[in-house]
Structure 1
Amino acid sequence: MAGMTPNNPPRRILSWADTPKTVIYTIMISITLIELVLQISDRGWIAGGELRGLAYKYGAFWSKLTDDWRPIYAAQPWTMFFTYAFLHGGLFHLIGNVVTLGSLGAIALQRMNQWKFLQLYLSGMLGGAVMFAALSDSAIPMIGASGAIFGLVGAWQYWEFANLRRRGLALTPFYRMMVNLVILNLLFWLMLQGALAWETHLGGFIAGWVWAWIFARE
């Protein structure tokens, strides 16, 4: 049959899940474009400089909405569990998350296709929001992709932990990394004068760890 000889093997059509890093680039571009639009608005070129405030008002995570605050629109108490991760507090906040997403995302994609990566990312995003809602009563909005990114950290550390145990090696490197993560969060919390949503980091980490334990291939 034509096209089936050993010298002319059939071509497999690549799916979206097979394309390297498409999901990471899509997330990076999405959150970057949103922040750039807000930066332009901050300079008064769009919506009279009020667009960032509106974006936070409608899309940030407000823990009080899980208590006694009235939402602006009916679905807000539910949509904010995901929309918060697309908003950032400025270029430095965005750049830090984008760089971290690129490096940790590359590690994760060595073990899974992009559909599973997206599941892991969303798990960290949701876990971070749930933990923030459970532990924080702050009236300040929570924003940023760090919950989802700490989901990647949690999965990565589960893989490292499982690998050490499987090989019968000491868990010292794993414990050292845990201590480093705690110290890093503490330092940023001090630098930001308590404005760091460590609850979101913790929730994302736990969600990523659990996801990797249940679903990820070893």
Structure 2
Amino acid sequence: MNDLGHNTDPIESPFNTIPLVPLLLVLVIAAVELTLTAAANGWIGGAQGVGWRASAFGEFQFYPEVMTEIFERGRGSHDYWKRFVTYPFVHGSLTHAVWASVLVLALGKFVGETFSPIAFLILFFTSSVFGAVIYGILSWQNTQLIGAYPGVYGLIGAYTYLMWLALERMGDNQLKAFQLIGILLGIMLVYFMLFGSSPTWIAEVSGFLIGLFTAPLLAPGGWSAFLNRIRKRA
């Protein structure tokens, strides 16, 4: 503090408080979306830039027919396999990408401070990949799946698990850990009632369940710590 009584401590950037892995994921999402948005507005790419988003969908989106091509017709080409991990980085609009980025950063700060960087990546991509797999199996429409939301819901699953542990330590009602997913499912239900249903919710709910049940394996201490907690409660 200087002679005038003003605090001269440096202002810490908010990005310094966010773990590296979720920050990198958001930077990739932002780079892709800003490129597609700029092209759609004619700022880059010239006349052909207007079609870049549609081309990105065709190249990177996941859709249920991929499962048919790989597992029923035996056409497991690189073009099909890559879609399980590329679709989270392509979004339908700037707003779609912004909301995904905000959620990854918010949840990434909480989950990423507990999980190791590798565990965080495994959690995000496991939720994304198997969310797509379950969606491909159960969907009744060949609707495209794009966006980071199945992975985000996987992070919500991990957040729920961590909250469950925290509430247990405090001796509070552990069902409170499911408040966030309950609110989101309620919003989803209202949205479906107003605008109609899309089967992509299957991937998101599946992502949550996968995140919830893989979190004990990926959290510090892994499976052994989880079993020890079960034994103590038995």
Contact 1:127 1:203 in 2 (8 A): yes
Instruction: Give, in angstroms, the shift of residue 137 of structure 1.
Output: 3.1
In the alignment, structure 1 segments of 5+ residues that lack a partner are: 1-18
* Matched AA of 1:138: Q
Judging changes above 3 Å, is the alpha-carbon distance between structure 1 residues 101 and 163 closer, same or farther for their aligned structure 2 residues?
same
SS at the partner of 2:133? helix
**Which residue of 93, 111, 114 maps to 1:111?**
114
Q: Under a length normalisation based on structure 2, what TM-score does the superposition of the two structures give?
A: 0.76
| Counterparts of 1:48 and 1:93, CA distance in 2 | 20
Judging changes above 3 Å, is the alpha-carbon distance between structure 1 residues 68 and 110 closer, same or farther for their aligned structure 2 residues?
closer
| Counterparts of 1:65 and 1:24, CA distance in 2 | 28
| Counterparts of 2:49 and 2:171, CA distance in 1 | 61
Partner of 1:27: 25
Decide which structure has greater helix share.
Answer: 2
Matches within 5 A, 1:36-51: 36-44=34-42, 45-46=44-45, 47-51=48-52
| Counterparts of 1:24 and 1:179, CA distance in 2 | 24
Matches within 5 A, 1:117-196: 117-165=120-168, 168-195=171-198
In the alignment, structure 2 segments of 5+ residues that lack a partner are: 1-16, 222-234
Instruction: Give, in angstroms, the shift of residue 144 of structure 1.
Output: 0.3
| Counterparts of 1:150 and 1:164, CA distance in 2 | 21
Aligned length: 200
Instruction: Give, in angstroms, the shift of residue 51 of structure 1.
Output: 1.1
Partner of 1:11: none
* Matched AA of 1:113: S
The CA deviation string for residues 10-62 of structure 1, in whole angstroms up to 9 with x for no partner, is xxxxxxxxx96221221111111111111122234423421111110110011
Q: Under a length normalisation based on structure 1, what TM-score does the superposition of the two structures give?
A: 0.81
- Bigger mean CA offset, 147-156 vs 171-180: 171-180
Partner of 1:92: 95
Judging changes above 3 Å, is the alpha-carbon distance between structure 1 residues 83 and 157 closer, same or farther for their aligned structure 2 residues?
same
Measured on the aligned residues, the alpha-carbon RMSD in Å equals 2.6
* Matched AA of 1:57: G
Judging changes above 3 Å, is the alpha-carbon distance between structure 1 residues 177 and 94 closer, same or farther for their aligned structure 2 residues?
closer
* Matched AA of 1:171: Q
* Matched AA of 2:117: Q
SS at the partner of 1:50? helix
Instruction: Give, in angstroms, the shift of residue 75 of structure 1.
Output: 1.6
Instruction: Give, in angstroms, the shift of residue 73 of structure 1.
Output: 8.9
